[in-house]
Amino acid sequence: MIHSKVLDNKLSSKTVFDKLLDESTKGLPRSIAVTFVNPFSYSLLSKNARLLSGLDVIFSDGSLHTKLHNTFNQNKIQRLSFDFSSIAVDVLRFANQTGKRIAFIGAKPTLVDVAVKNYVSMFPDLNVVYKHHGYVNDAALKSQVIADLNQQQPEIIVCGMGTPKQDEFIVELKNALDTPALLFTCGGFIEQSAIKADYYHPLVKKLGLRWLQRAVLHKHVRQRLVREYPKFVVSYLRAQMKNKRTQSIEEANPREK
């Protein structure tokens, strides 16, 4: 795993999220790309400096990563994720109350339709101006989606394609949209919402066991937990301890200016 101090420094707190909604109320001067990182996506994003530079705000999606980050870094953060156990409800409620135009891109063709119906049932005044599946795999389709978005001019776009595809897409959108929008990645949120409007069981949310519910229901999550997460913990701790040792040596032997 490549450790990225740039990524660590970009990780933000709930206060930053609240400010984003406040700025959106007043009108954004430019589009803002917001994503979320967990032990799986951390490694993928760390390898791509260009992509990291295009992402404006990054939140930590997962208690494990949040605790590790706060142990070694001065910029303290809270766990935030785009689901109904966290800020998804804030974003959809905000759009519902303000009438902001919102678009959803993600999941399979039939599932995105079901998910949007579920959102509207929960938030009756939600102004959904565009929806599209997440399999935007060729240049022609991508160009068409961007053209459609520019026609509909959504002020909030929620994109779930998996990392790093969704991150690359919102960065591209940030530079291609004619009007400013608040751009969120959401991972499997749209697909989960098609299964059930509020995907997580109340007890699961209360106990912070979202990872366990996903592992029980989805094979790819189980594989990540077994293969990727232990490697992340070991690599992250090793990289952070190395950074601490390097910092201590530099402080003990300051260069002459």
DSSP string for residues in 38-53 = -HHHHHHHHT-HHHHH
Examine residue 233 and state whether it is found in any structural domain, yes or no: yes
Examine residue 181 and state whether it is found in any structural domain, yes or no: yes
Output the CA–CA distances (angstroms, integers) from residue 250 to 8, 10, 192, 246, 256, in the order listed.
20, 24, 48, 6, 11
**Percentage of the chain modeled with pLDDT above 70:** 80
In tens, the pLDDT along 3-32 reads 788 899 999 999 999 999 999 999 999 999
In tens, the pLDDT along 170-227 reads 999 999 999 999 999 999 899 989 886 666 656 656 656 565 556 555 555 565 655 6
The amino acid that residue 126 corresponds to is: L
Mean pLDDT of 146-163: 97
Burial per residue of 202-230, b for 16 or more beta-carbon CB atoms within 10 angstroms, e otherwise:
eebbeeebbbebbbeeeeebeebbeebbe
Least confident of 71-75, 184-188, 209-213, 239-243: 209-213
Examine residue 71 and state whether it is found in any structural domain, yes or no: yes
pLDDT of the residue at 235: 79
Examine residue 257 and state whether it is found in any structural domain, yes or no: no
Which range marks the domain in which residue 9 is found? 5-252
Domain total of the chain = 1
Alpha carbon distance 240, 141 (integer Å): 42
Examine residue 78 and state whether it is found in any structural domain, yes or no: yes
The two structure tokens encoding residue 221 = 């999550």
Q: Side-chain half-sphere of 77: how many Cα atoms within 13 Å?
A: 32
**Cis status, amide bond into 180, omega within 30 of 0:** no
Residue in 167, 169, 159 with CA at minimum distance from that of residue 137: 169
Alpha carbon distance 108, 190 (integer Å): 9
Mean pLDDT of 132-146: 97
Examine residue 141 and state whether it is found in any structural domain, yes or no: yes
Examine residue 244 and state whether it is found in any structural domain, yes or no: yes
Examine residue 184 and state whether it is found in any structural domain, yes or no: yes
* Average pLDDT value over all residues in the chain: 87
Residues 6+ apart with CB under 8 A from 35: 45, 55, 57, 58, 59, 163, 166, 167, 170, 184, 185
Helix, strand, coil percentages for the chain (3-state, nearest 5): 60, 15, 30
